[in-house]
Amino acid sequence: MIYYRPIAQIDRCRPKGARAIAGGWSWFTHAECLERGGISTVVPITEIPVDIVENIARKRDDICGLSMSEPHIMGVLNVTPDSFSDGGQHNTFENAVARAKAMIKEGTSLLDIGGESTRPGADYVDNSEEIARTAPVIEMLKIAGIETPMSIDTRKADVAAAALQAGAVMFNDVTALTYDTDSLPLVGREKPFVCLMHSLSDPKTMQNNPEYDDVLLDIYDHLADQIALCVKNGLPQERIVIDPGIGFGKTMDHNLQLIRGLSLFHGLGCPVLLGVSRKRFIGEIGHAQNAADRAPGSIAIALEGLRQGAQFLRVHDIWQTKQAIRLWKKTL
């Protein structure tokens, strides 16, 4: 199989024949041609199969009522006692609701609410406990008149179903619906928006010597398979977002390869989400031991994701990232 990674450009001097990436702000005239076991080459757009070009270039449908013609911030709201970055800060209903309202003022387009930590080594949380942490927060925000769309960050179908019932519109699953056998039937039946993220193994063990034949192509194929399963189960592809899962069962080198090659994932025909906020590799490269000190590095990688056409950035530091995006957009 041959893979084509569009070489993303954002320069105002856009040559004739260039095509937009996902109908957005980035464009391409050439692509890196990749093949397992082969040497990569660069080919012009005229040598790429037409159906692949069209899949890369096609404007994406709105997600959760949000236009994919501009980038969006997915704000992280962890109602947990043990998340790696902000565990324990918002694990009461009052604190969670107050933080959600603040996040909206800061510029988040989509609230991602999670009740189980997925940091490396995290312990399992019982379904009933995870539901008790998340569904009431979503319900209270809806009662308060919050119109910003909400996502439930979980790998469990029961938790997702309770959140959707409470008012969430997206099921964000770090296992791409592979953990719970009830997840695929749920999304086929309820047809929420879905974010499929790649991860390797369970959070407890995912960082135990992760290995890939080719990290970029292995994850591309895995996400392609999960998209196909969703569609087979009745979920339209237009309701799917994909996330390569930076930091989830990846070494630092794996993470950097995925960031460099992020534009490849536009070939799957779905909006792309990049979640690098405060991740450990940013601390290691940026010399920031404390997660809360990693906003500058997180924003640097986020802007590289935008350059490659990613439509969603999942972040903790919302107003800082929003400010950076405003400045970045003025340079286009």
Local structure of 185: helix, strand or coil: helix
Beta strand 27-28 with 150-153 is unpaired
- In angstroms and rounded to an integer, the radius of gyration of the C-alpha atoms of the chain is 19
Domain layout of the chain by residue ranges = 1-59, 60-330
Predicted confidence (pLDDT) per residue in 59-72, tens digit: 999 999 999 999 99
The C-alpha angle with vertex 186 and arms to 147 and 128, in degrees rounded to 5, equals 75
Q: Of residues 250, 280, 314, 322, which has the active-site annotation?
A: 314
- Is 326 noted as a catalytic residue in this protein? no
- What tokens appear for 48 in the block? 């790429």
Assigned CATH for 60-330: 3.20.20.20
How far apart CA 64 and CA 134 sit, in angstroms, is 19
pTM: 0.94
Specify the pLDDT at position 88. Answer: 43
42-46, 205-209, 288-292, 313-317, range with the lowest pLDDT: 205-209
- Is 279 noted as a catalytic residue in this protein? yes
What mean pLDDT comes out for the span 166-172?
98
Whether 86 shows a pLDDT value over 50: the answer reads no
Specify the pLDDT at position 203. Answer: 63
Residue 78 DSSP label: E
Q: Of residues 99, 156, 279, 294, which has the active-site annotation?
A: 279
How far apart CA 194 and CA 175 sit, in angstroms, is 12
Specify the pLDDT at position 201. Answer: 64
Confidence of residue 79 (pLDDT cuts 50, 70, 90): confident
Confidence of residue 204 (pLDDT cuts 50, 70, 90): low
